[in-house]
Amino acid sequence: MDATVSKRWLLARLYEPEQTIIDCRFTLGKPDAGRESYEQEHIPGAVYLDLEMDLSSPVGEHGGRHPLPDPQVLAARLSKLGIGNDSRIVAYDDESGMNAARLWWLLRYLGHEQVFILEGGFSQWKAEKFPVTNHQPVRVPSSFVPNVQPQMLADVEEVRQVSEKTANVGGDASSSPSTRIVLIDSRANDRYQGMNETLDKKAGHIPGAVNYFWKDTQHADGSYKSAEELEAHFAGLDKDREIIVYCGSGVTACPNVLALEKAGYKKVRLYAGSWSDWISYGYNPIATGDEEKPINL
């Protein structure tokens, strides 16, 4: 089954007991806005998880602006919300799916595959006259036991090595494609090129990374493009190559991970600390401008 579900699909299953709906709305710079919006109205039965309080750990010297939460801490939070290993989870937000995708990725990182993202988010749900409520459900605690999948992650040391190799290789066609890993920067192109940085202390990108803006994986209405459309979007990337995806803080990279997997790419990992972690090491190099995307390598 696809990682995304339609509004009518969810409506038909709204009250199934094995399902938990999770509201992930969050606004950067307004940390209380998401919870306040949830308390005002949400999809019936939905519980709330906060990007910074629940889906991230406290910010430190390294790890980026949204460090990954401790698996046991997140598992305890899920258990308290009545989510177990057999639960089916549908996540939504109002930010083009980026926070819902963060939860989607995190749950899969904890070994939970039954997790989906609602196409279009809350505003479209409400605009199409589907039911909303301000009632907060009472949840019976369950037991969520994490089965962490470390192979889904890339750390800063590996990204540093990949960057060095990619920058040194450049466009050398004699290098072996099987030994080369593609770095994908998911941010808007102006931030990638270092022309406009409003969130992090330094501008630019990791040397050797190519730019695929995460919102380009979606239609104007916020729905994900089809597998065929996404294959065309990522055309030139060999499906046998390993891919490491990053963004500013490890959140908007997640929709790109989802889109790549939907397009048939199987070797996709997340650099969770992303750009904000990379620049926390003063000796890491920074590139600006554009870099040529691979073509059938």
Residue 241 forms part of a structural domain: yes
Whether residues 30 and 138 share a domain: the answer is yes
Q: With bands split at pLDDT 50, 70 and 90, how would you rate the model's confidence at 102?
A: very high
Whether residues 157 and 138 share a domain: the answer is no
Residue 295 forms part of a structural domain: no
- Which of residues 149, 165, 196 is at a domain's end? 149
The per-residue pLDDT for range 191-223, each reduced to its tens digit, is 999 998 989 999 999 999 999 999 999 998 888
Whether residues 79 and 141 share a domain: the answer is yes
**Residue 171 pLDDT exceeds 50:** no
Residue 283 forms part of a structural domain: no
When divided into structural domains, the chain yields a total of 2
Q: With bands split at pLDDT 50, 70 and 90, how would you rate the model's confidence at 176?
A: very low
CATH number where 224 lies: 3.40.250.10
Single pTM value for the model: 0.93
pLDDT over 90 percentage in the chain:
87
32 Cβ neighbours under 8 A, 6+ residues apart = none
How distant, in Å, are the alpha carbons of 89, 162, 197, 255 from that of 276? Answer: 29, 18, 11, 18
Q: With bands split at pLDDT 50, 70 and 90, how would you rate the model's confidence at 279?
A: very high
Q: Which residues are catalytic?
A: 247
Q: What is the mean pLDDT of the segment spanning 243-247? A: 98
For residue 178, the enclosing domain spans: 153-278
Whether residues 71 and 163 share a domain: the answer is no
Q: With bands split at pLDDT 50, 70 and 90, how would you rate the model's confidence at 168?
A: low
At 290 the pLDDT is 86
Q: Which residues of 247-271 are buried (b: 16+ CB within 10 A; e: fewer)?
A: bbbbbbbbbbbbbbbbbebebbbbb
**Residue 232 pLDDT exceeds 50:** yes
The per-residue pLDDT for range 262-272, each reduced to its tens digit, is 999 999 999 99
**Residue 169 pLDDT exceeds 80:** no
Neighbours of 2 (CB within 10 A): 14
Whether residues 84 and 62 share a domain: the answer is yes
- Which of residues 149, 179, 199 is at a domain's end? 149
Whether residues 143 and 248 share a domain: the answer is no
- Which of residues 149, 179, 200 is at a domain's end? 149
At 174 the pLDDT is 35
Whether residues 117 and 233 share a domain: the answer is no
DSSP, collapsed to helix, strand or coil, labels residue 257 as: helix
Whether residues 158 and 243 share a domain: the answer is yes
